[in-house]
Amino acid sequence: MLESLLFIIMSLIIIACAIGVIFQKNPIYSAVFLIQTMVSLAVLYVLLHAQFVAAVQVIVYAGAIMVIFVFVIMLLNLNKDELERDRNKLPMQKPAAIILGLILVVMIGIIMARTVFQSAGGEYTPEVMDQIGNTQLVGKMLFTKYVLPFEIASILLFAAIIGAIVLAKKQIIKEEK
């Protein structure tokens, strides 16, 4: 009962904050709403017995990624007319997009509501997971079955660091010449 109540409250917060992200004019408000969405999602992950994913969601998503976003918004320092300009170039865009989005919700909703779950075949039931510990299981999987994707992910992050430095530094080098 408590779990259902928590789920309903959190999903309402998530949907409300997602609407906030979409319809806010000011990007900094969108960012704050997005942080709230991600923290509420972390609560749902705890309800689904994925405690480590919940912790990583708060640290990496709500912490690191959103800090980058807020940092860039502050760095660009957009003024008001910059945000308002050219909003009506395509007059029917907003209602058309909302109608298409509603159609998408209905389509995904029908598919999801009709999902027939096969009988659970895995070995990691919530009881087993609580006994061993979610974090330990994730570590074991990452370094045995998924060790190659794990290494590739590290290369991807390295490439992203290099790419960000190259893209952001280009202009400065030109100015120095």
Q: According to CB under 8 A, which residues from 156 to 175 bind other proteins?
A: 156-157, 159-161, 163-164, 167-168, 170-171
What DSSP string describes the chain? -HHHHHHHHHHHHHHHHHHHHHH-SSHHHHHHHHHHHHHHHHHHHHHTT-HHHHHHIIIIIIIIIHHHHHHHHHHHT--HHHHHTTTTSSTTHHHHHHHHHHHHHHHHHHHHHT--PPPP--S--HHHHHHH-HHHHHHHHHHTTTHHHHHHHHHHHHHHHHHHHHHHHHHHHHHH-
Q: Does 120 bind other proteins (CB under 8 A)?
A: yes
Of the candidate residues 123, 173, 176, 177, the single one contacting other proteins (CB under 8 A): 123
Q: How far is the CB of 176 from other proteins (least distance, A)?
A: 14
Q: How far is the CB of 94 from other proteins (least distance, A)?
A: 5
Q: Rg of the chain's alpha carbons, rounded to an integer?
A: 21
Q: How far is the CB of 96 from other proteins (least distance, A)?
A: 8
Q: How far is the CB of 156 from other proteins (least distance, A)?
A: 5
Subset of 64-93 contacting other proteins (CB under 8 A): 64-65, 68-69, 72-73, 75-76, 78, 82-83, 85-87, 89, 93
Of the candidate residues 13, 55, 58, 137, the single one contacting other proteins (CB under 8 A): 137
Subset of 9-38 contacting other proteins (CB under 8 A): 11, 14-15, 18-19, 21-22, 24, 27, 30-31, 34, 37-38
